[in-house]
Chains A and B, each alone.
Chain A
Amino acid sequence: KNQVEQSPQSLIILEGKNCTLQCNYTVSPFSNLRWYKQDTGRGPVSLTIMTFSENTKSNGRYTATLDADTKQSSLHITASQLSDSASYICVVSASANNNDMRFGAGTRLTVKP
């Protein structure tokens, strides 16, 4: 069973709308959680990195939240743009040196005009 579960699997929204992607994990111990954006045919690009003590971190229109007690994270995208169409991958590391990273299957987001 995957230790990082993402939902929804796919999402279609209209340009300008907001959306929230979910990531639930059972990885233990926990070191950090990252959200990556992966455009089709390209490698993932880091959006945010959060450690145990961080609850919220923003990167432009992207805001990630982390609840280490419930082992849940969300990625909120505000005022979506067509360029936000991509896969968003949640990655949880069990160790500080990232030797033990667990990947979610990703959420495929499509933003339509």
Chain B
Amino acid sequence: KAGVTQTPRYLIKTRGQQVTLSCSPISGHRSVSWYQQTPGQGLQFLFEYFSETQRNKGNFPGRFSGRQFSNSRSEMNVSTLELGDSALYLCASSLEGGTLESSYNEQFFGPGTRLTVL
């Protein structure tokens, strides 16, 4: 089974631009979560999508948005980029949420997209 894939792997943008990142989950996985990772803040949760609906959201401004398609693929968009948005953006997929025991709801991470804002 193929793992979680993210495109592009590297991206350079300038302040004020917008960017769209893509994530393809493991086949059969319906939950996709997005994270931002920076050296100073570590991993921070952005949002989670499940069955095309945003189910949970972290403490990020509205410039960060996402969506999920019917095939569970997900995109994340950041508008009006700021220097502080430079980070590794990670996507993780899992089978599903709900009330399953977490041991069976393991998240699998993609390799990430390294975004640099100049």
- Are the C-beta atoms of A98 and B102 separated by less than 8 Å? yes
Set B42, B99, B101, B108: member contacting A104, Cβ < 8 A: B42
- Are the C-beta atoms of A97 and B97 separated by less than 8 Å? yes
- Are the C-beta atoms of B106 and A99 separated by less than 8 Å? no
Separation in Å of the B56 CB from the closest CB of chain A?
4
CA A51 to CA B105, docked complex, whole Å: 12
Separation in Å of the B46 CB from the closest CB of chain A?
12
Which residues in window 69-118 of B have CB below 8 A to A?
90, 92, 94, 97-103, 105-112, 114
A101 within 8 A of B: yes
Please, which residues of chain B bring their CB within 8 A of the CB of A104? 42
- Are the C-beta atoms of A97 and B106 separated by less than 8 Å? no
Set B48, B90, B103, B111: member contacting A49, Cβ < 8 A: B103
A103 within 8 A of B: yes
Separation in Å of the B8 CB from the closest CB of chain A?
14
Q: How big is the B interface, by class?
A: 20 to 34
Closest to B3 in A: A43
Residues of B within 8 A of A (CB): 4, 42-45, 48, 55-56, 90, 92, 94, 97-103, 105-112, 114
23 sampled A-B residue pairs with Cβ under 8 A: A32-B102, A32-B103, A43-B90, A43-B109, A43-B110, A43-B111, A44-B43, A45-B109, A46-B106, A49-B103, A89-B42, A91-B43, A93-B102, A96-B99, A96-B101, A97-B97, A97-B98, A97-B100, A97-B102, A97-B105, A98-B107, A99-B56, A103-B45
